[in-house]
Amino acid sequence: MHEMALCEGIICIVEEEARKRRFSRVKVICLEIGALSHVAPEAMMFCFEAVAARTIARGARLEIIERRGIAWCLACSQSVEIAQRCKPCPFCGSYQLQVTGGKEMRLKELEVD
């Protein structure tokens, strides 16, 4: 489960920001997770509690904003929504899709004391 390692990385980023900006407690961590990022939001929620338990983020609420997958179809020149890679264009059936969005995972904001 790579979500555990991702949560550990998020906590490292948060702790580094706490040192730089001198805050002592994190109340909310907001993440954006793309549908094509290979990250399971449910697994992130589960792992976050365990990883944050003895850190500055203990008791913090994890909010996840899910972003849809977007691709540009090279065959029909349309931007299309896709749920997963290796699926055809919903308009023309072509497999010539270039992913343009939804593969990111980003720490969007923190609410701190």
Q: Which domains does the chain have, with CATH numbers?
A: 2-68+102-112 (3.30.2320.50)
Condensed to tens digits (0 to 9), the pLDDT of residues 32-89 reads 999 999 999 999 999 999 999 999 999 999 999 999 999 999 999 999 999 999 999 9
Cα(89)–Cα(47) distance, integer angstroms: 34
In 3D, which of 27, 21, 82, 95 has the Cα closest to residue 56? 27
Neighbours of 53 (CB within 10 A): 10
Task: Please give the single-letter amino acid code of residue 11.
Answer: I
Mean pLDDT of 10-29: 97
- pTM: predicted TM-score of the whole model, two decimal places: 0.86
DSSP string, 6-55: HHHHHHHHHHHHHHHHT---EEEEEEEEETTSS--HHHHHHHHHHHHTTS
Condensed to tens digits (0 to 9), the pLDDT of residues 24-37 reads 999 999 999 999 99
